[in-house]
Amino acid sequence: MSAIADGSFVRGGAVKPLPPPVSRSGILRWLNDDLFSSPLNIALTLLCVLLMAWALPPVVRFFFIDAVWSGSDRTACLASPAEPNPGACWAFVRVWLSYFVYGFYPLSERWRVDCFFLALAIGLLWLLWLSAPRRDIGAVYFFVVLPLLSYLLLHGAPLIGLMVVPTTLWGGIFVTVVVATIGIVFSLPLGVLLALARRSDLPVLRLAAVTFIEVVRGVPLITVLFMASVMLPLFVPERLAPDQLVRALIGVALFAAAYMAEVVRGGLAGVPRGQYEAARALGLSYWRMMGLVVLPQALRITLPNIVNTCIGLFKDTTLVFVVAIFDFLRTVDAAREDPNWAAPNTTVTGYAFAALFYFACCYAMSLYARTVETRLARGGRR
């Protein structure tokens, strides 16, 4: 390999592939490339460090170092000579935890809710774990068996010895999970149908879909819930009207479906026209073309947006309190008003606990979506 004066030369033999140059070790490279690579970057890094130094210690002190971990009433969490500045009152959360989870569900029947949680966890795992065995059976389980089982367990069936627990006693995390799951599970297929209708060739269908989507999107969820719970009895005799919780569930599902429809529509528009044509040229019917060729691609394109909508829906479930349903946040709210626990820091602790719960759930959804995205990207799409 000899270079000639003007720099160009003809290679004599074949060049053997060489291993890549060894990069600098991890932490140094990180410091150099990501934290201190330019004056602006250095300034930003220092700013962030200062911000953390200012904000983190008091938070850690309040929630952990000064926190009260046990006690049976408010006195444990009040300021005392021994503890002039008490931190978070975790004792409050510990005492009320079962109420946060089950609401007023009768003590003796709470095992039924636990069974429901377990059945739901199995279903979610089976459906969401992409390499789980027999996911087709998993889908049947999730969409057919689980709803029936949940109804029998939670509502009760005197025939098989489970006493009926009216939904007015339901509450807490358990109700939040029920509302969110039903909302997500129903809004997705409903949203897909609405999106297809909106892109249909039939003007009547298109008009109906557009009207529904625009009206529902143009109205706050609270209004939809009020309409479902307060106005329905004006048209339907009270004894024929569905249960209060069911009304709220329908309201939430329809509301979410309108948002989902727009998200899915975006995905449908992202599938190239050639895909529709190829499917049609092969003689696939409309539904097969959509189900086998277009929707799988559309839903992949739009997966981040779908998850975004699901996260929004999950947090929106907190609004069902306006129709007197005791979701998780409402139970926290009720507990902090209990005179036995009235203390300045119980309210903060209760809400912090609620925030933690919602964050954990939403972040889990977000993480899952990211895993699926990477997997699909590796799966060899264009």
Partner 1 sequence: MDERADQSPLNSPPHAVAVEIISLHKWYGDFHVLRDINLKVLRGERIVICGPSGGGKSTLLRCVNRLEDWQRGRVIVDGIELTDDPKRIVTVRRDVGMVFQQFNLFPHLTVLENCTLAPIWARHMPKKDAEALAMHYLERVKIADQAGKYPSRLSGGQQQRVAIARALCMSPNIMLFDEPTSALDPEMVKEVLDTMVALAGDGITMLVVSHEMGFARQVADRVILMDDGQIVEINEPKKFFGDPQHERTRLFLQQILH
CB of residue 187 vs partner 1: minimum separation in angstroms? Answer: 23
Percentages (nearest 5) of helix, strand, coil residues in the chain: 75, 0, 25
Among residues 93 and 293, whose Cβ is nearest to partner 1?
293
The type of residue at 313 is: L
Stretch that binds partner 1, among 80-88, 228-236, 268-276, 320-328 (CB under 8 A): 268-276
CB of residue 205 vs partner 1: minimum separation in angstroms? Answer: 16
- Tokens (6 digits) for 269: 């528009």
Cβ neighbours around 355 below 10 Å, total: 12
Task: Please identify which residue in the block is written with the tokens 């307060």.
Answer: 230
CB of residue 263 vs partner 1: minimum separation in angstroms? Answer: 19
The answer to whether 203 contacts partner 1 (rule: CB under 8 A) is: no
What are the residue ranges of helices labelled H in 23-134?
26-30, 39-60, 90-102, 110-128
The answer to whether 200 contacts partner 1 (rule: CB under 8 A) is: no
Angle between helices 90-102 and 344-378 (to 10 degrees): 60
Among 112, 265, 300, 336, binds partner 1 (CB under 8 A): 300
The answer to whether 284 contacts partner 1 (rule: CB under 8 A) is: yes
CB of residue 278 vs partner 1: minimum separation in angstroms? Answer: 4
Among 41, 285, 340, 371, binds partner 1 (CB under 8 A): 285
What are the residue ranges of helices labelled H in 271-343?
273-281, 286-288, 295-301, 303-316, 328-336
Query: Cα–Cα distance between 264 and 282 in angstroms, integer?
Result: 25
CB of residue 244 vs partner 1: minimum separation in angstroms? Answer: 43
Number of residues that bind partner 1 (CB under 8 A): 22
Among residues 295 and 354, whose Cβ is nearest to partner 1?
295
Among residues 47 and 130, whose Cβ is nearest to partner 1?
130
The answer to whether 163 contacts partner 1 (rule: CB under 8 A) is: no
Q: Are 226 and 247 in contact (CB under 8 A)?
A: no
Among 158, 203, 274, 339, binds partner 1 (CB under 8 A): 274
What contacts 198, CB < 8 A, 6 or more positions away?
206, 209, 210, 213, 261, 265
Among residues 160 and 281, whose Cβ is nearest to partner 1?
281
Among residues 29 and 288, whose Cβ is nearest to partner 1?
288
CA distances from 255 to 12, 72, 78, 155 (A): 71, 42, 43, 25
Stretch that binds partner 1, among 98-106, 109-117, 287-295, 332-340 (CB under 8 A): 287-295
Angle between helices 172-198 and 90-102 (to 10 degrees): 60
Q: Are 79 and 94 in contact (CB under 8 A)?
A: no
The answer to whether 268 contacts partner 1 (rule: CB under 8 A) is: no
The answer to whether 293 contacts partner 1 (rule: CB under 8 A) is: yes
Judged by CB under 8 A, the chain residues 316 through 335 that form the site for partner 1 are: none
Q: Which residues bind partner 1 (CB under 8 A)?
A: 272, 274-275, 277-285, 288, 292-293, 296-297, 300, 379-382
